[in-house]
A = this chain, B = another copy of it.
């Protein structure tokens, strides 16, 4: 469990995409990753319902599977999703789109469903064609391996990892129904919305419109508020599928709250595993005139390489925080700003506050609290420090 998110709703007995009734999953190695680890994943919905909703990257240079899955979701039904790591299938032109199409067709034939109900998601290096001679046999092996239970969830979560060091899964149990999910993403991780692949499942009875509303509400306060390196991916996909297998029709507000709670746990896990990170940083802006102001301030501070290197160096350099706040359009007066780092108010009324030597930055988790003194709204962005390992990993990634 993430240190940076305290669950509101209890976890289910199982975790991951097969935690809710009515879902099977599999993850297998197909040779797309040179390491021989799992890289092809299937998640299927056995019903009785097949309602689904999805949100995608806002990047205008979107990958082939994003274009495909946007079409699939238009009728609100998804029977299965096939995911691969080891290649993003982005900037791959007509051949790339044909490969996505062929992958969906292959899944459809194997599972005896319509290819129009098969979502596709890919992650990995941009600008290279997928090795279809490896991917399609992998899909066949995944279809054979489909199962319920914890091992299937774990194998699936492992199969979508790229530079992630640990699989990310979660679950919630609420009044007779269950939610489950898995996520990947450790770099090129920024909001608007997700910059990652996430599959969420539930056995609650909900139609596509209800799922869409809940998903947008949940992602806006979770994945949208995780920002590792400010770089928006070409492949972001968050898919929510409902089997209805619990027979329970949930209260919409309760379901949304539980979904948001689980998504916040997954988002925190993404930041906890961000490339090279040694600190997870919660940038919390309080007493803003509007939530948009609070978000803008937290986002600006989260994206500052100078703030992020300072935290890496265990340096409570509040001047770098203030200089980022000053770049925003949020309502505030410079001489009314307070900044606390790990609860020590190092900046008071826009100037020197408590002794900065009182701040300990030895722990993984860091809070930067910015008080705008301009209202009562607040918002938090989760980010991480900028380290030598981030530079190393991203100067050598394509090899």
- Evaluate contact between B126 and A320: CB separation under 8 angstroms: yes
B350 touches A395 (CB 8 A): no
Specify which chain B residues have a CB less than 8 angstroms from the CB of A386 in the assembled complex: 305, 391
Chain B nearest CB from A297 CB (Å) reads 11
Query: 1/0 contact trace for A225-236 toward B, CB 8 Å?
Result: 000011111100
In the complex, what distance in Å separates the CA atom of A303 from the CA atom of B92?
Answer: 24
Q: How far is the CA of A188 from the CA of B349 in the complex (A)?
A: 23
Contact of A232 among B234, B327, B387 (CB under 8 A): B327
Interchain CB contact under 8 A, B322 and A394: no
Number of copies: 2
Task: Check if A11 is an interface residue, CB within 8 A of chain B.
Answer: no
Residues from chain B with a CB closer than 8 A to the CB of A312 are 391, 395
Known: A309-B394, A313-B395, A391-B388. A352 touches B319 (CB 8 A): no
Bound CA span A75–B399, Å:
59
* Interface size of A as a range: 35 or more
Q: Contacts A61-B325, A349-B93 hold; do A387 and B398 have CB atoms under 8 A apart?
A: no
A28 at the interface (CB under 8 A from B): no
| A 142-172 binary contact with B (CB < 8 Å = 1; else 0) | 0000000000000000000000000000000
Complex-state Cα separation, A352 to B129, whole angstroms: 9
Main secondary structure of the interface of A (DSSP, over half): loop
Nearest CB of B to A97, in Å: 11
Q: Quick check: A387 and B394 within 8 Å, CB to CB?
A: no
A351: contacting residue among B92, B387, B388, B394, CB under 8 A: B92
Chain A, 113-128, contact with B by CB distance < 8 Å: what is the 0/1 string? 0000000000001111
The 3 closest A-B pairs by CB, nearest first: A126-B319, A313-B395, A61-B326
Instruction: List A residues at the B interface (Cβ < 8 Å).
Output: 58-62, 88, 90-93, 96, 125-129, 187-188, 229-234, 303-306, 309-310, 312-313, 315, 317-320, 322-328, 332, 334-335, 337, 347, 349-352, 386-388, 390-392, 394-399
12 A–B contacts from the bound complex (CB under 8 Å):
A60-B326, A61-B322, A61-B350, A90-B319, A92-B352, A126-B322, A232-B323, A234-B323, A305-B394, A315-B397, A317-B397, A388-B391
